[in-house]
Amino acid sequence: MSGTRPRGAGDNRGHSARGSPTLPLRGAERREGGFSHAVGAPEPPAERGRGRRRLAVVVPAVAVVCGLVVGGLAGARVVGRRPAAAVARPAGAAGAPAGTVGPVEQLRGAGTLLFTDPRGRAHAQAADGRDHRVLGQLGELASRPAPSSSDLEAAAFLLASAPDERLAELGPDGDTVYLRTADGAAAVGRLVDGSVRRLAPAGWRSTGAPRHSADGSVLGVCGYRLGGSPSPSVAAARSWVLDGSGNRLATLPGCLYDVAADGGSALVADPAQGRLAGPVPAGQGRRSPPVGASDQLTRGLRLWRRDGSFRPVLGFADVVRVFRTVRPGVDPRGLVVVTAVLGPGGRQALVRIVDALADVDPRTGAEVEVLALVDLATGRAEPVAEHLPGWFAFLPTGGWAWTGGAGTATYQPRDRPPQLLRSGIAGDGVYAVVPSPDGAWLLLAGATWRFIRADDPSVQVTHPAPGRLATWAPAVTR
C-alpha cells in the first residue's frame, strides 16, 4: 500500500479510517464503499449495514403510522364535511315556458290556457306552462286581417263591440270554438272534424263571436242588417238564443250582449227604451266614418229569462245620467249601449256606453264613452270613471278589472279600494283581461302574457305569449 493512495481507496475502500465500521456509511463514502465482505473485512458481513436495515424497518413503520394519521384526518374531514346546500328548484318551474319571469310555480293548478296560433291550430297548456298539447286545427282560426274599419263596420260598432279583442273562445271540452267567420257570421266550430256551423240566418251578419253559457248549452247571437243611403246604418238588429245543438230557444228584437254562466238568462237590448229615446240621428262625421240614423241601436237593457219572461235592468234615463258624470253636456240622442257583460251570479253587469254623435278624436277631445257598473236588481248604474276605458272583465270572486287610457290596468275588488295591476300596458299590446277560473289571478294578454295575483299584484309572472289567448278554463276535458 502506498502512502500516496487516497484514503479509503483501493480494495478495502469500504473500510474507512475515520469512522466506526458498524456505522453506516454516508453519502459518497457509502457509495464508494463497495462490497465489504469481498475484501475480507475484519467484521462479519452481517454486521455491516445493520443500521440501514434497522432504518429500513423503522422508517416504513413510522411512515405507515404517520400515513394512517394523516389519511385518517383527511378522510374524516372529507366525510364529516357538511355538503353544500342543495338549491331546490321550485316545483313546477321545470316545465315553464322559455323566458318566464316570476314565481311560475304559483300558477300550478290554476287551470288550463287555451290559445290559437297564426296557422289556425288550437293549443292547451297548464297555466304554469306545462303539459302543452295541440288540440286541433280550424281554418277559421288562422290569422286574417283585423275587422275592417270600413263605414259598414263603423255602423255595426254602434250596435255592439266585444269587451276585448280575442279572436275566438274555446270551450272547456277542448273541441268547441266560438268565433266570427271572415264574412261576419257568428259560428261554432269543432276541432275534431274541422266543421264550422253558422248560427245567424243567411243575410245576417254578426257583431262578434256567439256568447255562451259556461257549459256551452246555451248560445246567444246578435245579428244585424245594414241599410241606409248615402251613409250605412243598422237597419235591423235581431238576436237568437239557441241550445247547444243549434236549436232556437228564442228570437229577440235588438242585440244580445251576454248569456249567463248557467244559461238561465241573457242580457239583451230593451226595445221599449229604444222607443223612449228615439232613433239615433245620423252622424255627420269629419273624424269618423259617417253613419246613418238608426232606431235599432241599444238604449237600454233587459234580462231575458229562459222561461220567456223579461226584466228591465237599465233604463235610458240611467244611461244618460251615467254618461253625464263624465260629460255633463252630452246630447242624449247619441248615447247607445255597445257592450254588456254579466257578472258572476248574474247580479251585476259592466256596460260600455258610447256617444254615437261624438265627432272628436277620443284621445284629444271630450270623453266619448263611459264604463258603467249596473246593479241588475235595482237597475242602478254607476260610472267606472276612467279616461278612454279599454278592456274589462269580471272576476268570479265578484270584483272587476279594466284597462284605461293612462296605460294602467286596475282591479276593483268588492268592497275594497282599487289596486293597480300594471302601468305602461300600452307597450305590452294588451288585448284582453282574463281572470283565472278561481279568480285568484288575472291575465293581461298581449305580446307578453302577464299573470297577476289578484290579492297581491306584486306577484306577477310573465312570459312571451305562445299564441293568441282564447280561454282560461278550469281544465280541458278532452
Contacts with another protein in 6-45 (CB under 8 A)?
A: 34-35, 38
**Cβ closest to another protein, residue 137 vs residue 448:** 448
**Four-CA torsion 139, 140, 141, 144, nearest 10 degrees:** 100
**Four-CA torsion 258, 261, 264, 266, nearest 10 degrees:** -10
Residues 143-172 contacting another protein, CB under 8 A? none
Q: Tell me the β-bridge partners of 477.
A: none
Q: Tell me the β-bridge partners of 248.
A: 242
Half-sphere exposure of 281 (CA within 13 A, CB side): 10
Q: Tell me the β-bridge partners of 445.
A: 432, 449
CB atoms < 10 A from the CB of 9, how many?
Answer: 9
Closest distance of CB 433 from another protein, Å: 14
Task: Return the residue of 139, 278, 365, 429 that touches another protein, per CB under 8 A.
Answer: 365
> Which window, 135-143, 163-171, 231-239, 456-464, contacts another protein (CB under 8 A)?
456-464
Total chain residues near another protein (CB under 8 A): 81
Q: Tell me the β-bridge partners of 251.
A: 240
Closest distance of CB 278 from another protein, Å: 21
Residues 407-426 contacting another protein, CB under 8 A? 407-408, 410, 412, 416-424
> Which window, 57-65, 172-180, 244-252, 285-293, contacts another protein (CB under 8 A)?
57-65
Closest distance of CB 450 from another protein, Å: 10
* 391: three-class secondary structure by DSSP: coil
Closest distance of CB 464 from another protein, Å: 19
| 386 contacts another protein (rule: CB under 8 A) | yes
Residues 59-88 contacting another protein, CB under 8 A? 59-76, 78-88
Closest distance of CB 381 from another protein, Å: 9
Closest distance of CB 103 from another protein, Å: 5
Compose the 86-115 pattern: x for residues touching another protein by CB under 8 A, - for all others.
xxxxx-----------xx------------
Residues 294-353 contacting another protein, CB under 8 A? 321, 324-329
| 244 contacts another protein (rule: CB under 8 A) | no
| 459 contacts another protein (rule: CB under 8 A) | yes
**Cβ closest to another protein, residue 225 vs residue 321:** 321
Task: Return the residue of 18, 31, 286, 363 that touches another protein, per CB under 8 A.
Answer: 363
**Cβ closest to another protein, residue 63 vs residue 475:** 63
Distances, alpha carbon 42 to alpha carbons 36, 47, 49, in Å: 10, 11, 14
**Cβ closest to another protein, residue 215 vs residue 455:** 455
| 364 contacts another protein (rule: CB under 8 A) | yes
* DSSP 8-state code for residue 55: H
Which value, in Å, is the radius of gyration of the alpha carbons in the chain?
A: 43
Residues 388-407 contacting another protein, CB under 8 A? 404-407
Residue written as cell 416504513?
60
**Cβ closest to another protein, residue 253 vs residue 332:** 332
Name the residue among 299, 329, 305 with its Cα closest to residue 317: 299
Beta strands in 228-306 (DSSP E): 233-243, 248-253, 256-259, 265-269, 301-305
CB atoms < 10 A from the CB of 13, how many?
Answer: 17
Task: Return the residue of 5, 10, 26, 53 that touches another protein, per CB under 8 A.
Answer: 53
Closest distance of CB 279 from another protein, Å: 23
Tell me which H or E stretch contains 178. strand 176-180
Q: Tell me the β-bridge partners of 409.
A: 403, 422
Distances, alpha carbon 401 to alpha carbons 137, 160, 394, 435, in Å: 32, 20, 6, 9
